[in-house]
Amino acid sequence: MQLYDKDLLSMQEVRKLVEAAKNAQQELAQKSQEDVDRIVRSIADAGVRNARRLAQMAHEDTGFGKVEDKVIKNIFASQGVYERIREMRTIGELSRDDAKKLRVIAVPVGVIAGLVPSTNPTSTVLFKAEIAIKAGNAIVFSPHPSALRCILETVKVIRQAVAEAGGNEDLVSCITIPTMQATDNLMRHPDTAMILATGGSAMVRAAYSSGTPAIGVGPGNGPAYIERTADLPLAVKRILDSKTFDYGTICASEQSVICDADMRPAVQAEMERQGAYFLNAEERSQLGRYILRANGTMNPEIVGRPVQTIASLAGLRVPESARVLVADEDGVGPGHPYSNEKLAPILGFFTGTDYRDVCNICRTILCYEGKGHTFSMHTKDDRIVEYFAKRIPASRILVNTASALGGIGATSALMPSLTLGCGAVGGSATSENVGPMNLLDRRYVAYGLKELEEIRAGVPDCSDGICRTAPQAPCGCQAAPAAPALDNEALDRIVARVVELLRAGN
């Protein structure tokens, strides 16, 4: 029996997939906006029809999250995204200004490499396929190995939907032999125009260092501030709903709760009433040693697991009614595990002396991990919102909403997205919730409006430091002094002198 090297097979597969995707994309480039929208609508409908089956497969493959919540995410990533983007103009001319003689034309980037995480595998594939094709592109997915089966099935569903709508099914494809070499080849392939990276920090860094234009997102670590004017029961409900949704696998979910110190008793009492379990000092230390690995990164064993499973793995016993585990934290950084991102129903708890101190603590948390991602707050005071919005290094400042769902645009007006940019402060190419407009280039057609002589005529004459061309001295020089005012006697003398000169000349 002949044996084949897995790495070589995977790299050969990448070459074939990219070649087929390039041909399919060139076909798509000849289609109208209506043709493209028909394909996207077909993908959305297929995502809804298969939402439960794909959610069940994702849960079976990874063990992460809740099936019911994954159903919601699949519907959001297909129908929810489609509803927002269906009216977007993404093919051909985007805008025209006849007065300025300026036109803007959409140009698809080509073939996109889509990196898929294990935390949201099926929903991410549905979302990225929709926005890629909406922008006129093809996409080749690199799946997380632990979610390969459900990702391949999702791609199969999408390819069938594309074909049913009259498109080339090679617009969407997936590596079936996932290796690091295959992913690297996909990202560096000369016909890969852009990388859309959602995953761990190491993978995102690899995308940005590949030499191919990339949109990657960093980790979330968003604090949630319960300010003193907040509706406390409603604020706690939103936080716990958010943190328990799919067991915390959405990166925009709250990672810590913070309030003014004098509010601590009331906040803790309300959180406990709604199902939060506050760890004692011994339990806090025991779980803290478990949630991070020796290198300081999150232990994958806690990701997307229910409270009872996490407690059992860490050797703890907690009430059956516990929905979220909460641990007091008095610092940020190494040695303070609850100040890190925890994609699980675990929250750190901080207090500050007042809103200014709280703001400084939140800034410190985000600068340690999660810079540029998400911050949430619960308040009725718009002045407090303004104060934090000017100072918090986050691309999404969410007010009075569940952070996980508000961050992805499910309960807010943000672009519905499962790829959340962190901006330059977070090492990302964009601070937006990524959508179709991030996946196309704009070609500008601009007609001339001036000639060189007109530009020269507007240049100030100020060679000696005094501007004589423009009375307001827009160049910054000293304006030329105005001529002194003349009285009647002075004018009479001037007229008499002119008459005298004229007679002499005669």
Q: How far is the CA of 470 from the CAs of 173, 451, 454, 473, 476, in angstroms?
A: 63, 20, 15, 5, 11
Supply φ then ψ for residue 461, to 5 degrees. -95, 100
Count how many Cα atoms sit within 13 Å of the Cα of residue 310 in the half-sphere of its side chain: 34
Alpha carbon distance 448, 451 (integer Å): 8
Tell whether the torsion through CA atoms of 401, 402, 404 and 408 is positive or negative.
Answer: negative
DSSP letter for 357, please: H
Q: What single string gives the DSSP state of each residue in 279-295? A: --HHHHHHHHHHHB-TT
Supply φ then ψ for residue 249, to 5 degrees. -80, -10
**Residue among 267, 256, 265 nearest 376 (CA):** 256
Please name the helix (run of DSSP H) or strand (run of DSSP E) that holds residue 460, with its range, or none. none
DSSP letter for 228, please: T
Choosing from 150, 174, 251, 477, the catalytic residue is 251
Count how many Cα atoms sit within 13 Å of the Cα of residue 442 in the half-sphere of its side chain: 12
The per-residue b/e assignment along 85-121, b for 16 or more CB within 10 angstroms, e otherwise, is beebebbeebeeeeeeeebebbebbbbbbbbbbbbbb
Supply φ then ψ for residue 96, to 5 degrees. -145, 130
Interhelix angle 33-49/51-62, rounded to 10 degrees, is: 60
Q: 260 - beta bridge partners?
A: 352
Q: Beta 372-378 vs 223-226: how paired, if at all?
A: parallel
Q: In a 10 Å sphere around its CB, with 0-12 CB exposed, 13-18 middle and 19+ buried, how is residue 34 labelled?
A: exposed
Q: Please name the amino acid found at residue 149.
A: R
251 is catalytic: yes
Categorise residue 252: left if φ over 0, alpha if ψ from -120 to 50, beta otherwise: alpha
Alpha carbon distance 97, 110 (integer Å): 27
Q: What single string gives the DSSP state of each residue in 145-198? A: GGGHHHHHHHHHHHHHHHHHTT--GGGEEE-SS--HHHHHHHHH-TTEEEEEE-
Q: Which two tokens stand for residue 474?
A: 């827009």
Catalytic residues: 251
